[in-house]
Amino acid sequence: MKRDSTFGEAFQPWAGLVVGVVAVAFVHQFGSDGTFDKCAAIAPAPVLVVATIGLLACAISGLVSWHSLSGEADPSRRVVASISVGCASLFGLAIIFAMIAVLILPPCFQ
Protein backbone atom coordinates (compact mmCIF):
# COMPACT_ATOMS: atom_id res chain seq x y z
CA MET A 1 0.00 0.00 0.00
CA LYS A 2 1.31 3.41 -0.92
CA ARG A 3 1.94 6.01 1.73
CA ASP A 4 -0.11 8.70 0.00
CA SER A 5 -3.27 6.60 -0.39
CA THR A 6 -6.39 7.73 1.39
CA PHE A 7 -8.58 5.63 3.64
CA GLY A 8 -11.20 5.39 0.91
CA GLU A 9 -8.74 3.97 -1.59
CA ALA A 10 -7.42 1.50 0.97
CA PHE A 11 -10.97 0.45 1.93
CA GLN A 12 -12.28 -0.16 -1.60
CA PRO A 13 -11.33 -3.85 -1.86
CA TRP A 14 -12.84 -4.48 1.58
CA ALA A 15 -16.10 -2.58 0.96
CA GLY A 16 -18.24 -5.53 -0.10
CA LEU A 17 -17.22 -7.61 2.87
CA VAL A 18 -17.47 -4.97 5.59
CA VAL A 19 -20.55 -3.09 4.38
CA GLY A 20 -22.26 -6.35 3.43
CA VAL A 21 -21.80 -7.83 6.90
CA VAL A 22 -23.13 -4.66 8.52
CA ALA A 23 -26.11 -4.48 6.12
CA VAL A 24 -27.19 -8.10 6.53
CA ALA A 25 -26.75 -7.89 10.32
CA PHE A 26 -28.83 -4.71 10.54
CA VAL A 27 -31.60 -6.11 8.31
CA HIS A 28 -31.68 -9.36 10.28
CA GLN A 29 -31.73 -7.57 13.64
CA PHE A 30 -34.44 -5.11 12.56
CA GLY A 31 -36.58 -7.91 11.14
CA SER A 32 -36.23 -10.24 14.10
CA ASP A 33 -36.76 -7.53 16.72
CA GLY A 34 -39.76 -6.18 14.84
CA THR A 35 -41.28 -9.61 14.35
CA PHE A 36 -41.02 -10.60 18.00
CA ASP A 37 -41.54 -7.25 19.75
CA LYS A 38 -44.15 -5.49 17.63
CA CYS A 39 -45.28 -8.10 15.15
CA ALA A 40 -48.59 -6.48 14.20
CA ALA A 41 -47.13 -3.02 13.60
CA ILE A 42 -43.72 -3.71 12.06
CA ALA A 43 -44.37 -6.32 9.38
CA PRO A 44 -44.17 -6.32 6.39
CA ALA A 45 -43.79 -2.74 5.09
CA PRO A 46 -41.07 -1.37 7.42
CA VAL A 47 -39.10 -4.60 7.19
CA LEU A 48 -39.23 -4.44 3.39
CA VAL A 49 -38.04 -0.81 3.40
CA VAL A 50 -35.07 -1.61 5.64
CA ALA A 51 -34.29 -4.75 3.62
CA THR A 52 -34.35 -2.74 0.38
CA ILE A 53 -31.91 -0.22 1.87
CA GLY A 54 -29.67 -3.08 3.02
CA LEU A 55 -29.84 -4.69 -0.41
CA LEU A 56 -28.82 -1.41 -2.04
CA ALA A 57 -25.92 -1.06 0.42
CA CYS A 58 -24.74 -4.58 -0.48
CA ALA A 59 -25.02 -3.89 -4.20
CA ILE A 60 -23.16 -0.57 -4.03
CA SER A 61 -20.39 -1.95 -1.83
CA GLY A 62 -20.03 -4.97 -4.12
CA LEU A 63 -19.70 -2.66 -7.11
CA VAL A 64 -17.05 -0.61 -5.30
CA SER A 65 -15.06 -3.78 -4.64
CA TRP A 66 -15.60 -4.89 -8.25
CA HIS A 67 -14.26 -1.61 -9.61
CA SER A 68 -11.20 -1.85 -7.37
CA LEU A 69 -10.29 -5.15 -9.06
CA SER A 70 -9.35 -3.53 -12.36
CA GLY A 71 -7.03 -0.88 -10.93
CA GLU A 72 -5.25 -3.08 -8.43
CA ALA A 73 -1.73 -4.35 -9.07
CA ASP A 74 -1.18 -5.98 -5.68
CA PRO A 75 -2.31 -9.64 -5.87
CA SER A 76 -3.34 -9.82 -2.22
CA ARG A 77 -5.66 -6.83 -2.61
CA ARG A 78 -7.12 -8.40 -5.76
CA VAL A 79 -7.91 -11.56 -3.79
CA VAL A 80 -9.57 -9.50 -1.05
CA ALA A 81 -11.59 -7.60 -3.65
CA SER A 82 -12.71 -10.85 -5.30
CA ILE A 83 -13.79 -12.31 -1.98
CA SER A 84 -15.58 -9.06 -1.10
CA VAL A 85 -17.57 -9.14 -4.34
CA GLY A 86 -18.63 -12.73 -3.63
CA CYS A 87 -19.54 -11.93 -0.02
CA ALA A 88 -21.59 -8.90 -1.04
CA SER A 89 -23.49 -11.12 -3.48
CA LEU A 90 -24.06 -13.77 -0.83
CA PHE A 91 -25.24 -11.21 1.73
CA GLY A 92 -27.55 -9.69 -0.87
CA LEU A 93 -29.04 -13.13 -1.47
CA ALA A 94 -29.60 -13.54 2.29
CA ILE A 95 -31.43 -10.21 2.36
CA ILE A 96 -33.57 -11.27 -0.62
CA PHE A 97 -34.49 -14.47 1.24
CA ALA A 98 -35.51 -12.36 4.25
CA MET A 99 -37.67 -10.20 1.98
CA ILE A 100 -39.37 -13.29 0.58
CA ALA A 101 -39.93 -14.66 4.09
CA VAL A 102 -41.54 -11.45 5.33
CA LEU A 103 -43.97 -11.59 2.40
CA ILE A 104 -44.85 -15.27 2.83
CA LEU A 105 -44.99 -15.76 6.60
CA PRO A 106 -47.76 -14.12 8.61
CA PRO A 107 -46.63 -11.20 10.84
CA CYS A 108 -47.55 -12.78 14.18
CA PHE A 109 -46.54 -16.35 13.45
CA GLN A 110 -46.88 -18.08 16.81
Residue 39, domain extent: 14-104
Q: Is 2 domain-assigned? A: no
43 inside domain: yes
- What Rg value do the Cα atoms of the chain yield, rounded? 17
Answer whether residue 4 is part of any domain: no
Number of domains present in the structure of the chain: 1
Check whether 56 has a pLDDT greater than 70: yes
Amino acid 40: pLDDT: 67
In a domain, 110, yes or no: no
Alpha-carbon torsion (13, 64, 98, 96), positive or negative: negative
Ranges of H-type helices in the chain: 7-11, 15-37, 39-42, 45-70, 75-104
Q: What is the pLDDT of residue 109?
A: 61
> pLDDT tens digit string along 85-104?
999 999 999 999 989 988 88
- Asked if residue 5 is part of any domain, the answer here is no
C-alpha to C-alpha distance for 41 and 34, rounded to whole angstroms: 8
Residue 95 lies in a domain: yes
Confidence grade of residue 51 (pLDDT, cut at 50, 70, 90):
very high
Average pLDDT over the chain, rounded to whole? 86
Q: Is residue 73 part of a domain?
A: yes
CA 93 → CA 14, 31, 58, 61, 73, distances in Å?
19, 16, 10, 14, 30
Q: Please indicate, yes or no, if residue 74 is contained in any of the structural domains.
A: yes
pLDDT band at 41, cuts 50/70/90?
low
pLDDT of residue 3: 54
**Average pLDDT for 48-56:** 95
Residue 74 DSSP symbol: -
